Chains A and B, each alone.
Chain A
Amino acid sequence: MAKGVWIVAEQRDGALRKVSFELASTARKLADQLGEEVGAVLCGAGIEALAAELGKYGVDKVFVADSPALEPYTTDAHATAVAKAVKENDPSILLVGASAQGKDLSAALVGKLATGMATDCTDVKIADGKLLAVRPMYAGKCFGEVVVTGTPQMASLRPNVFTIVESAKAAAIVKFDAGLGEPKTKVLEVQKEAAGKIDVAEANVIVSGGRGVKGPEGFGILEELAAVLGAAVGASRAAVDAGWRAQIDQVGQTGKVVSPNLYIACGISGAIQHLAGMSSSKYIVAVNKDAEAPIFARADYGVVDDLFKVVPAFTGEVKKLLA
């Protein structure tokens, strides 16, 4: 019978990504309830040293596939490697990060393993010995409690939502041969964004702008606030469709669905498709001139005023607080 709670550890450029620790901590919690072990699959080139780091967050065993063919990430190489380890060891649960890479990998794994998956979960628990995954659907307009009848029971976890807990384990290393054939895809080029840019999907704090920002140059004051807060700058569909901001920054049902600690909506009226994408943020601040804007119904703190006056003043106040 399938046994063990597994994660796919995500690394980039030889460093584990934060979501890996979120996955490990969550897997530890589930495994303790089941009385089972936590396994992690780690793929890449020259990455064996990262295994010990996973032990710090409760991983008992790290299955390492170390090969130049696994760096950089490609769907077919990584999915082949992970699927092989899973088939050989038969875990009952497999957790993957719902990051850009994890979304791609996990969906391919569902195909390779002929199982089911709950995508982008915000909570996972054990009920009657089985995984019960809670996830937003319709971009958060409703939630679903998902059970997976296939094996392993797969879930991808939304980054930044699950708590990281340290619980030191020795993390035994098991090397395995990924069994890779001729690669079907390769990465020709990695075009990096400006250093320091934080992706909205991974940000703890998001400063977001909409139609009320009035144009690309209006985002300047949002950028300044974001720099002070260490935040990402997001945008509503209106701002993206107007060409003021890049598509990758769009928050909403047709953009990214986000759950930061703090979401500051500036000049966003709160179309339902935008609200859906950010309602699971822990705290929501709305700055808007229009007191009737629907965004205020979702906001923890609302400021009815001109954002061009409030935002720079607020940036100044935050600077003082953080000084």
Chain B
Amino acid sequence: MNIVVCVKQVPDTEAQIKVKGDGSGIEEGGIKWVMNPYDEYGVEEALRLKEKFGGEVTVVCVGPARTMETIRTALAMGADKGIQIDDPALYNADAYATATALAAAVKSAPYDIIFCGQRAIDDDSGQVGSILAELLGIPSVTFATKLEIDGQKVKAVRPIEGAQLVIETSLPCVITATKGLNEPRYASLPGIMKAKKKPVDMKTAAALGVAAESKSKVAKFTPPPARPPGKIICADDTPEGKAAELAKLLREEAKVI
């Protein structure tokens, strides 16, 4: 089975995000970069499929030079090879342009199943996997929390508001992974050593023959709206007194209950 996993490098969840003074982006200094957490579920699922059915796992990543670290992380977990699409034309690409580049990279090799994270936790756009499937003309199942493959048949569970859907489709397809799909493994020390020798193919947008044309852009970044300072409820010093005061404030001042 030929398995492709699209991964993105994002700031760690604990990172403070500071907007640049001119609103053109975020300050990248001091940020710890990690693999997008949802992509980790994709890598893990890919490795489990490989362990079950044999085959090869290829990780594809769009981004600047620093993203090599994320590709090596996936290789250390057990993926076989990588493709890094590093092109300044794609650094601020939107979901459509990113998916176009990924589609071009994926098309050059045989694939049976493609994993993406359900969204990247930086831009939170949650579109790339679905666009990729459309560009390749194959079905997609997003937000998968469970996956079973039997021959060409794919069965996935996807939560919606108030229900779980059991969805059937067939290979080849795109699956976007979310929390619950599996527990991603840590890279082992031998894995990390081996990863250094695994092949990573370097590509540019031009080499892939894509125009890297974004269809949307963030015109301005702003810090979140400031919240007015809150009140610490003292009333009297008993939990009961505080609870009564809180209920009163929510009823009369905030008018939310």
Check: A138 CB closer than 8 A to any chain B CB. yes
Q: Is the CB of B221 within 8 A of A229?
A: no
Residue in A140, A199, A318 whose beta carbon sits within 8 Å of that of B247 in the complex? A318
**Contacting residues of chain B (234-257) with chain A, CB-CB under 8 angstroms:** 239-240, 242-244, 246-251, 254, 256-257
Q: Which residues of B line the A interface, CB within 8 A?
A: 11, 13-17, 19, 26, 37-38, 94-96, 99, 119, 121-127, 129-135, 138-143, 145, 155, 158-170, 178-180, 214-225, 227-228, 230-233, 239-240, 242-244, 246-251, 254, 256-257
Q: Which residues of chain B have C-beta atoms less than 8 A from A67's C-beta?
A: none
Q: Is the CB of A193 within 8 A of B163?
A: yes
The residue in chain A whose Cβ has the minimal distance to the Cβ of B239 is A309
Q: Is the CB of A191 within 8 A of B163?
A: yes
Q: Which residues of chain A have C-beta atoms less than 8 A from B38's C-beta?
A: 254
Q: Is the CB of A322 within 8 A of B257?
A: yes
Q: Is the CB of B17 within 8 A of A202?
A: no
Q: Which residues of chain B have C-beta atoms less than 8 A from A273's C-beta?
A: 13-14
13 contacts between A and B (CB under 8 A): A100-B143, A107-B95, A107-B129, A116-B215, A118-B216, A144-B222, A191-B163, A205-B256, A261-B256, A279-B224, A283-B250, A310-B239, A310-B243
Q: Which residues of chain B have C-beta atoms less than 8 A from A191's C-beta?
A: 163-166
Known: A110-B130, A144-B221. A185 touches B168 (CB 8 A): yes
Check: A285 CB closer than 8 A to any chain B CB. yes
Q: Is the CB of B166 within 8 A of A141?
A: no
Q: Is the CB of A139 within 8 A of B227?
A: no
Nearest-neighbour CB distance to chain B for A128, whole angstroms, equals: 11
The residue in chain A whose Cβ has the minimal distance to the Cβ of B38 is A254
**Docked complex Cα distance between A134 and B49 (Å):** 40
Q: Is the CB of A301 within 8 A of B163?
A: no
Q: Which residues of A line the B interface, CB within 8 A?
A: 72, 74-76, 79, 99-101, 103-104, 106-108, 110-112, 114-120, 132, 135-150, 184-193, 197, 199, 201-202, 205, 229, 240, 247-248, 250, 252-255, 257, 261-262, 271-273, 276, 279-280, 282-285, 291, 296-306, 309-311, 313-314, 316-318, 320-322
Q: Is the CB of A186 within 8 A of B246?
A: no
Q: Is the CB of A188 within 8 A of B250?
A: no
The residue in chain B whose Cβ has the minimal distance to the Cβ of A138 is B17
Q: Is the CB of B133 within 8 A of A111?
A: yes
Residue in A117, A146, A253 whose beta carbon sits within 8 Å of that of B13 in the complex? A253
Interface of B: prevailing SS: mixed
Nearest-neighbour CB distance to chain B for A167, whole angstroms, equals: 25
Q: A111-B99, A136-B124, A137-B122 are in contact. List 10 more A-B contacts (CB 8 A).
A: A103-B143, A138-B17, A140-B224, A144-B218, A149-B215, A193-B162, A205-B256, A254-B13, A283-B250, A296-B232
Residue in A254, A297, A305 whose beta carbon sits within 8 Å of that of B121 in the complex? A254
The residue in chain B whose Cβ has the minimal distance to the Cβ of A260 is B256
Q: Which residues of chain B have C-beta atoms less than 8 A from A145's C-beta?
A: 218-222
Nearest-neighbour CB distance to chain B for A49, whole angstroms, equals: 23
Q: Is the CB of B179 within 8 A of A250?
A: yes
The residue in chain A whose Cβ has the minimal distance to the Cβ of B17 is A141
Nearest-neighbour CB distance to chain A for B246, whole angstroms, equals: 6
Q: Which residues of chain B have C-beta atoms less than 8 A from A298's C-beta?
A: 227, 230
Most chain-B Cβ atoms within 10 A of its Cβ — which of A116, A148, A291? A116
Those 8 A-B pairs whose CB atoms lie nearest each other, nearest first = A111-B134, A116-B216, A116-B215, A150-B215, A107-B130, A313-B243, A309-B239, A317-B247
The residue in chain A whose Cβ has the minimal distance to the Cβ of B256 is A262
The residue in chain A whose Cβ has the minimal distance to the Cβ of B161 is A199
**Docked complex Cα distance between A51 and B233 (Å):** 49
Q: Which residues of chain B have C-beta atoms less than 8 A from A271's C-beta?
A: 14
Q: Which residues of chain B have C-beta atoms less than 8 A from A262's C-beta?
A: 250, 254, 256-257
**Docked complex Cα distance between A301 and B11 (Å):** 31
**Docked complex Cα distance between A74 and B140 (Å):** 10
Known: A137-B123, A314-B246. A189 touches B165 (CB 8 A): yes
Residue in B13, B14, B142, B162 whose beta carbon sits within 8 Å of that of A75 in the complex? B142
Q: Is the CB of A150 within 8 A of B246?
A: no
Known: A190-B163, A197-B162. A139 touches B124 (CB 8 A): yes
